[in-house]
């Protein structure tokens, strides 16, 4: 027995080196960690248990380019895989694909999050001279297991799926991360594209670098494909751990409670100084969020993309919440095509995983213009209406200053969207349009003929606000505004409301599924 145990240890020791020390050194020279180094950095020390480590070890390609297994993060079980770039460059062959499918299937069956550390160029390419040979390094195209997209889709909404792009991922290897819930990318290390610079040059004659085509900055600022941009692999692993702390293990559970030590009765005295009284003046909504939430800790999702809307995770009274907030300092907080996609996807994620929604509202409406209309703002905006209407988790809205026109629909502060509780500050305005725009539309001739046009316009604007945009009058006439509160009461009101709505029960109509306007 001792002899067999010693042989097993020796084989596993060699297999743990993947493609060998020279290839490991090559990855380190590129500034990259190996697959197992990444897993060790991500998981609790000593918690990783690997599966199928010895696949193809007898032909010198142990693991077939992928490491899979389970471990813990903050003592909570997760499944994880990491492409091993030291074996076949991390490319996908048959056994590689079967292992990838298996770990997804395990995560689904066990009801635990799945984390993918991606560093793969896609399907394995066969050298022509090896076609039809018995070379052990050859993997037939017919055997390539490209079925991970199916299991990705089955996992969607059942267990959280998180992807980190930690090298050059191309072709089919970018679609699996795109099907997951969140994507992390590292500056100067991560690249994602369907077709690379060489193909683009050969087909279109265009010169473009990998960074311009599919780097972290591009995907976080321009395409919106990625959700988080970090400076190093170590930062990436830490941010994944932080994200998971807000999420449940699966769709049946609630997110973990954490005592933050921040009193639920704390008043937010600074709020009335953060938000200007003048509705056209900008400010940073993040300051409002940080003042309200536990410990001022807010994990923003897609902070660089469609920055006119803010989405992310925080805690209120120790419980996880998803925050959706207009950002008046960017495009005046107008809603757009991109912000609608960002908002709708985040709402649907929170609804899938039992995370209550807090809507902080201060927007003049949807962004006007030909580009928005030609780009399908109607279709994109409808995604938000669909997501809000579909969501059954507690939804609490707070109107800070203004909401005009269709924005009242897009932020859920209108009857019919199932928003459970709607509050307003005494500075709130609701109307078809802003007071200035309404007066300019209805009194254009009178303003022009007035002895003092500016004074006449100011008078009419004040009259409009008094009669049509006064939250006190609104609270007197309608039932969907549940209370007008002082800014300082915001945190306490939201926490009390979350407790009130925590056991909300909502039935759904029997059907296969709806047809969201994609």
In the chain, what percentage of residues exceed pLDDT 90? Answer: 69
User: What are the backbone angles phi and psi of residue 400, rounded to the nearest 5°?
Assistant: -80, -50
pLDDT score for 172 = 77
Contact call for residues 174 and 219 (beta carbons, < 8 A)? no
> Would you give the DSSP letter of residue 100?
H
| Average pLDDT of the residues in 439-461 | 73
Where are any strands of DSSP class E within 104-144?
114-118
**How far is it, in rounded angstroms, from Cα 288 to Cα 291?**
5
Residue 23 has pLDDT above 70, yes or no: yes
Active site residues: 171-172, 406-407
Q: Are strands 161-165 and 114-118 parallel, antiparallel or unpaired?
A: parallel
Contact 318, 251 (CB under 8 A): no
Query: Quick one: 443 exposed, middle or buried, by C-beta within 10 A (0-12, 13-18, 19+)?
Result: middle
d(C-alpha 235, C-alpha 330), whole Å:
27
Question: For the residues 266-277, what does the mean pLDDT come to?
Answer: 93
Domain ranges of the chain: 2-245, 271-433+471-501, 435-468
Q: Do domains 2-245 and 271-433+471-501 have the same CATH topology?
A: yes
Determine the average pLDDT of the residues in 137-142.
43
Q: Which phi and psi angles does 138 have, rounded to 5°? A: -85, 135
* Under 8 Å between Cβ of 425 and 399: yes
CA 389 to CA 412: how far, in whole Å? 9
The hierarchical CATH code for the domain 271-433+471-501 is 3.90.226.10
**Which helix (H) or strand (E) element contains residue 168?**
strand 168-170
Residue 118 has pLDDT above 90, yes or no: yes
Which tens digits make up the pLDDT trace of 407-425?
Answer: 888 999 888 888 999 999 9
CATH architecture, domain defined by 2-245? Alpha-Beta Complex (3.90)
Mean pLDDT for 7-30 is 92
Q: What is the DSSP string of 385-424?
A: HHHHHH--S-EEEEEEEEEETTHHHHTT-STTS--SEEEE
pLDDT mean across residues, the chain: 90
The per-residue pLDDT for 135 is: 47
Can you give the pLDDT at residue 467? 67
Higher pLDDT, 460 or 478: 460
pLDDT in tens, 52-71: 999 998 888 999 999 999 99
Average pLDDT over residues 167-179: 90
């Amino acid at each position: 027995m001792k002899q067999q145990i010693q042989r097993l240890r020796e084989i596993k020791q060699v297999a743990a080196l993947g493609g060998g020390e020279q290839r490991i050194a090559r990855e380190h020279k590129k500034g990259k960690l190996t697959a197992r180094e990444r897993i060790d950095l991500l998981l609790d020390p000593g918690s990783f248990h690997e599966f199928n480590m010895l696949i193809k070890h007898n032909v010198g390609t142990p693991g077939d380019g992928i490491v899979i297994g389970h471990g813990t993060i903050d003592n909570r079980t997760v499944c994880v895989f990491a492409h091993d770039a030291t074996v076949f460059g991390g490319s996908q062959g048959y056994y590689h694909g079967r292992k990838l499918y298996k770990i997804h299937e395990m995560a689904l069956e066990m009801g635990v999050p799945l984390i993918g550390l991606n560093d793969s160029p896609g399907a394995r390419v066969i050298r022509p001279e090896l076609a039809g040979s018995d070379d052990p390094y050859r993997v037939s195209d017919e055997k390539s297991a490209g079925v991970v997209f199916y299991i990705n889709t089955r996992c969607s909404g059942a267990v959280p799926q998180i992807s980190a792009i930690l090298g050059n991922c191309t072709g089919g290897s970018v679609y699996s991360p795109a099907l997951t819930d969140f994507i992390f990318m590292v500056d100067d290390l991560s690249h994602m594209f369907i077709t690379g610079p060489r193909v683009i040059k050969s087909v279109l004659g265009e010169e473009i670098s990998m960074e311009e085509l599919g780097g972290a900055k591009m995907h976080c600022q321009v395409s919106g494909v990625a959700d988080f941009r970090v400076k190093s692999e170590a930062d990436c692993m830490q941010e994944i751990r932080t994200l998971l702390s807000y999420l449940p293990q699966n769709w049946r559970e609630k997110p973990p409670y954490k005592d933050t030590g921040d009193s639920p009765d704390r008043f937010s005295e600074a709020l009335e100084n953060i938000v200007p009284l003048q509705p056209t003046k900008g400010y940073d909504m993040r300051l409002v969020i940080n003042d309200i939430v536990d410990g001022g800790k807010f994990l923003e999702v897609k902070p660089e993309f469609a920055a006119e809307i803010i989405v992310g995770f925080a805690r209120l009274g120790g419980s996880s919440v998803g925050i959706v907030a207009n950002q008046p300092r960017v495009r005046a907080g107008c809603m757009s095509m991109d912000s609608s996609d960002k908002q709708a996807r985040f709402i649907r994620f929170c609804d899938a995983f039992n995370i209550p929604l807090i809507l902080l509202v201060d927007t003049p409406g949807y962004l006007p213009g030909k580009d928005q209309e030609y780009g399908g703002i109607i279709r994109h905006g409808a995604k938000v209406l669909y997501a809000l209407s579909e969501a059954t988790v507690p939804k609490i809205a707070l109107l800070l200053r203004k909401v005009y026109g269709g924005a009242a629909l897009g932020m859920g502060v209108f009857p019919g969207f199932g928003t459970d509780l709607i509050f307003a500050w005494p500075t709130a305005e609701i109307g078809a349009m802003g007071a200035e725009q309404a007066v300019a539309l209805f009194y254009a001739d009178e303003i022009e003929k007035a002895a003092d046009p500016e004074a006449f316009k100011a008078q009419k604007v004040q009259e409009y606000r008094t009669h049509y945009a006064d939250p006190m009058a609104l609270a007197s006439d309608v039932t969907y505004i549940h209370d007008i509160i002082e800014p300082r009461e915001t945190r306490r009101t939201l926490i009390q409301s979350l407790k009130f709505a925590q056991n909300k029960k909502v039935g759904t109509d029997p059907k296969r599924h709806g047809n969201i306007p994609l």
